[in-house]
Chain A
Amino acid sequence: MSALATRAELIKLARDFQRDVGELESLAGLGVDRLMRLRHLCSDQLFRRYQPMYRRVAAASALVPARLAVTLGERIFGPYLGGRIGSQLETDRAIKFAQLASVEFLAEICETIDPRRVLPIIHAMPLDRVVAVGRILLGSRDYITMGKFVDAVTDVQVQAMLEVIDDPEVLLHTAFYTEGKERLESIMAMIDDERLKGVILHSVGSGHFPEALALMGHVGEESERRLVNLSADLGEPVLAELVRVADSEGLWGEILPLVMRMTPENMARVMAVEALRDRAVLGRLMLEIHAQSAWDEVIPLFAQTNEVLRESLIQVECLYRPEIMWSMFQSVLRTGSQEMLFSMLEMMSAEEKSSALSAVFHAVNEARLHDVLFQMLQQVSREDQELLVAASVHVEAALLREMLQEARRYPGASDTWLFKQMDQQLAGTP
């Protein structure tokens, strides 16, 4: 879900730049990775400007007792400067200071510092301290900070935090701002199915399903598969929202690959969603299937659907575009889904039959793929050939004539029952 992941990155950059995220929309084209690289570059440069000063003050802190240094840091320097000075301390000393500082102060430091500056310190931080600071961040619902720190903490620290988080909203939004795919993977492995279902349901109920989808698109294949199938297990409310978001937000391009990760049973559940009876919705889905060359994956699904969906399908205008009809036709034969195609052909009106066959013939003429078509037609059963002959009545004579002329050039093609019938039919046409 790159569009949403990009948005998360833009929000983080806007926060660093003291801007409203809307002002940075024109940078969305950079995409997640380049935006993140830019943000890190800016953060690194800003830090370097004062790093010598941070180092000097950190070194000077060794001249006073730890408790006094912490008091000075907390009361005088504050979290912004104090955190940066702390980042330059030896890890052992930083941990000692962190044990003496208030958790509120540590939480404020978390809000102002780039965790990449303090990774060794975070990793060495005692669990009780991590959890205490984490609880404060949870209370403030500062998901951006939490997301950044999720990338920085260890698995053990994450596990400890997961034990104190009981709000699915926190998990969802924090994950949304988490940068590392691998980190999300390891967190997924720590969360059981029921809890993940709770997060998904919460996202649907609170209007944040796009964020959940962004999360699904941001993890590895296995976790993605797990998440989309858990979503499908939740049934109609979640799947209807999936279709609604995909269609209304123009996200079919990103959601279709997620659907492809579902089990065949769950994919069939998606196809059964009521909203897909809408021709306009179905049309947009089909355009995306075509754009992604995903017909081979989708045709077996359509083949499992009932007549109601097929009725809707044959009324979708874009189906009759030559390039779409031809791709679909080829895929039907490749996947052995002829039954679906010919049952649809039977359902079509004369005009639709003409459009369908003409579309195939036009596409074949255009791409000079007659040999492919003729080979394919030889796989079609006699019964279905009869259907094609009947449908060819509605095809423009000139187009049919051209096709038959081509058939004569291919050995065996013009001798087939199908072409002989079409030929006879054409002979009777003025």
Chain B
Amino acid sequence: MSTREELAGELRVDAAELAFLGDLDGAQEDLILQGLRAAAEQQQQQIQAAVREALQHIPRVLRGPVKKMLFRNA
């Protein structure tokens, strides 16, 4: 899989939608890919921390159902 295809996969778009990037070389595409992954990682950490904090305020017995109901893909 090319870096462009990986990037498209990460962005969940068709590779053709990235045609506007022109002919970037592999290193440049990798720079974008790694940047996007870093941003995604940071987003995930922020959200998981916020969800963990939120669940702390809920009676233990209800945490599972609340997480399932509200935060299931966190």
Contact = CB atoms under 8 A, between A and B. Distances in A.
Interface string B43-74: 10011001101100100000000000111111
A19 B35 contact: yes
Contact of B70 (A24, A57, A80, A82): A57
B57 A18 contact: no
Interface stretch (A45-53, A129-137, A287-295, A322-330): A45-53
Contacts of B74: 50, 53
A50 B22 CA distance: 29
Given A46-B40, A49-B40, A41 B13 contact: yes
B72 to A, nearest CB: 7
A27 B69 contact: no
A10 B14 CA distance: 24
Contact of B47 (A37, A41, A50, A72): A50
A38 B57 contact: no
Contacts of B20: 34, 37
A26 interface: yes
Interface residues of B, number: 34
B28 A26 contact: yes
A30 B21 contact: yes
A30 to B, nearest CB: 7
B66 to A, nearest CB: 9
B36 A17 contact: yes
B39 interface: yes
A420 interface: no
Contact of A78 (B27, B28, B50, B72): B50
B46 A38 contact: no
Contact of B43 (A13, A49, A60): A49
Contacts of B11: 41-42, 45
A87 B72 CA distance: 19
Contacts of B47: 50, 53, 80-81
Nearest to B38: A18
Contacts of A19: 35, 38
Nearest to A24: B31
Interface in A12-45: 13, 16-19, 23-24, 26-27, 30, 34, 37-38, 41-42, 45
Contacts, number: 89
Contacts of B43: 46, 49-50
Contacts of A42: 11, 35-36, 39
Contacts of B40: 46, 49
Contacts of A38: 21, 32
A78 B50 CA distance: 7
Q: Is chain B's binding surface mostly helix, strand, loop or mixed?
A: helix
Given A34-B20, A77-B54, A27 B39 contact: no
Contacts of A34: 20-22
B12 A18 contact: no
B43 to A, nearest CB: 5
Q: Is chain A's binding surface mostly helix, strand, loop or mixed?
A: helix
A56 interface: yes
Interface string A72-90: 1000111011100000000
B50 A81 contact: yes
B70 A81 contact: no
A76 B57 contact: yes
A76 B54 contact: yes
A41 B43 CA distance: 15
A49 B43 CA distance: 10
A82 B40 CA distance: 18
B31 A27 contact: yes
Contacts of B39: 16-18, 42, 46
Interface string A328-359: 00000000000000000000000000000000
A38 B39 CA distance: 13
A42 B11 CA distance: 7
Nearest to A45: B11
Contacts of B69: 56, 60
Nearest to B53: A76
B8 to A, nearest CB: 10
B12 to A, nearest CB: 6
Given A13-B35, A24-B35, A38-B32, 12 more contacts: A18-B42, A26-B27, A26-B28, A30-B24, A37-B20, A45-B11, A53-B74, A56-B69, A77-B53, A78-B50, A80-B47, A81-B46
16 contacts: A13-B35, A16-B35, A17-B34, A17-B39, A19-B35, A19-B38, A24-B31, A27-B31, A30-B21, A30-B22, A41-B11, A46-B36, A72-B57, A78-B53, A80-B50, A81-B51
> What are the nearest 6 A-B pairs in CB distance?
A17-B35, A81-B50, A80-B46, A18-B38, A45-B11, A76-B54
